[in-house]
Amino acid sequence: MKVGLRTWKTVLSVFICFMLDELRNNGIPFYSAIASILCIQKNTKDSFKEGKKREITTIIGAIAGVIYLYIERLLPSIQFDFIRYILLSLLLIPIIQVSRLLKQEGGTFLMCVVFLSVTVNHNLDISPLTFAINRVIDTSIGILVGISINSIPFHKIKEISLKHPSI
């Protein structure tokens, strides 16, 4: 079975995300890797489209999550997870509506996922804002890497090297 060019681009973009995270030493490479994988599309135009959608929806989901957590900290403690989970679930309604309003329906799921990742997994963090900012930075890195790798005309490089064996 032949491994296609898009597969190799995906592998390369994920590896670069991991290496950039090693240099950055402050993020979660999982998020940049996911973004880079999703930005490896069949052409550069689709990569930009996916990257833009991903950036917008990640930022909105992160902002909504941070706002919720800061409001939650101002209110009397919610003693039962059951009530908190009902509230978090219901808050998906305005997030989905914002997605529709901004014509980002293709990224609605991501907006919801980012919102929940901030509010459910990081509600006890000292600074949820720090996580949210790093989440956006990680996603942005992945988007830039994915689009950059997908923009390189590897198929032309292969053609050139076949025509000129010394390359």
Q: Give pLDDT tens digits for 5-27.
A: 899 999 999 999 999 999 998 88
**Average pLDDT rounded to a whole number, residues 142-164:** 78
pLDDT for 123: 76
Q: How confident is the model at residue 167 (pLDDT cuts 50, 70, 90)?
A: low
The 3 state secondary structure assigned to the chain is CCCCHHHHHHHHHHHHHHHHHHHHCCCCHHHHHHHHHHHCCCCHHHHHHHHHHHHHHHHHHHHHHHHHHHHHHHCCCCCCHHHHHHHHHHCHHHHHHHHHHCCCHHHHHHHHHHHHHHHHHCCCCCCHHHHHHHHHHHHHHHHHHHHHHHHCCHHHHHHHHHHCCCC
On average, the pLDDT of the chain sits at 89
Average pLDDT over residues 66-80: 82
Q: Determine the average pLDDT of the residues in 83-111.
A: 93
